[in-house]
Amino acid sequence: MALASATRATADDEVLPWVKAELSYLAPTAERPRTYTYDPPPGLPRSTAVNEPHTVAIEDARPILPRLSLDEQGFSLVPHASAVRDFYDEAEVKAVYYPEAERLLQALTGADRVHVFDSTVRRRVPGAEDRLAGQPRQPVPRVHVDHTERSGPQRVRELLPEEAERLLGGRVQIINLWRPIRGPLRDMPLAVADARTVRPEQLVASDLVYEHRVGETYGVTFDPAHRWYYFPLMQADEVLLLKCYDSRNDGRARFTPHTAFADPTTPAGASPRESIELRALVFHAA
């Protein structure tokens, strides 16, 4: 199977394979977008966000992997074999995978402390919507960032209230670890944007309403200058790292947009995507 449909020169005049695919951006709006994670009150829509499709080139990042970093582009890929036998067993994931991920992130970032606070298993069911009762979580085919300038520190205060102000006095990152449960992954892979190509005004703060709290994520408006990448045929022993927040505002990557997408080279009959993502607070002392 061909991994891509064409090639494209990078900023360094390298030629990378790429596919052309449709991504769903946030349509420009004067209204603050709001999405409910449960059935909304009567008369209110599930979401006020309006998607705007754009066809873009998504480049194969494997040839440039040695030059990718969380602080430059906002993402990277690392090998990691897990001892987890069943990623659908929540207790095993917390007991085995959480500590593995914390050790991995501490080694990769030099952090003083790592705290995994959340995980989501996704199994694509064709035609199903996300967050339906009794259904597995679905891939998110919408360009977004999981945290914002405001919600990053808010998560620290919610999760570690007694230590929050001391921890927020140093550098804080939120990093996602995303991996296939079964590989090679061909169906609905993850596309990630080079954070350096996304301007701050294109990140639109949006409310994500839970039953007992309101979170905040970024929707993203379109710009043809955005540079998109993916890692074809990811295996279960590979982890994609995504930086979703960084308190340090000194020119390094802080917010990395990403989305699931329909890869046009996916063969008919490919197994539906199964994946797991962890979200971690990464702390560096002041």
Q: What is the pLDDT of residues 247-274, one digit of tens each?
A: 999 999 999 999 999 999 999 999 999 9
Q: What is the pLDDT of residues 144-167, one digit of tens each?
A: 999 999 999 999 999 999 999 999
Token duo for residue 210: 């839970």
At 200 the pLDDT is 96
Q: What is the pLDDT of residues 61-84, one digit of tens each?
A: 999 999 999 999 999 999 999 999
At 238 the pLDDT is 98
pLDDT, greater one: 81 or 131 = 81
At 5 the pLDDT is 46
The dihedral formed by the CA atoms of 239, 243, 248 and 249, expressed in degrees to the nearest 10? 140
Min mean pLDDT across 120-129, 185-194, 231-240, 245-254 is at 120-129
Q: What is the pLDDT of residues 1-47, one digit of tens each?
A: 333 445 444 444 566 899 999 999 999 988 899 988 888 889 899 88
At 6 the pLDDT is 52
Q: What is the pLDDT of residues 192-228, one digit of tens each?
A: 999 999 999 999 999 888 888 888 999 999 999 999 9
pTM for this prediction = 0.92
Cα–Cα distance, 97 to 35 (Å, whole number) = 30
Please state the three-class secondary structure of the chain as a single string: CCCCCEEEECCCCCEEEEEEEEEEEECCCCCCCEEECCCCCCCCCCECCCEEEEEEEEEECHHHHHHCCCCCCCEEEEECCCCCCCCCCHHHHHHHHHHHHHHHHHHHHCCCEEEEEEEEEEECCCCCCCCCCCCCECCCCCCEECCCCCHHHHHHHHHCCCCHHHHHCCEEEEEEEEEECCCCECCCCEEEECHHHCCHHHEEEEEEECCCCEEEEEEECCCCCCCEEECCCECCCEEEEEEEEECCCCCCCCCCCEEECCCCCCCCCCCCCEEEEEEEEEEECC
At 9 the pLDDT is 46
| Domain extent listing, the chain | 6-24+47-284
At 27 the pLDDT is 96
Contact 216, 151 (CB under 8 A): yes
What is 6-24+47-284's CATH number, 1.10.10, 2.60.120, 1.10.287, 3.30.420?
A: 2.60.120
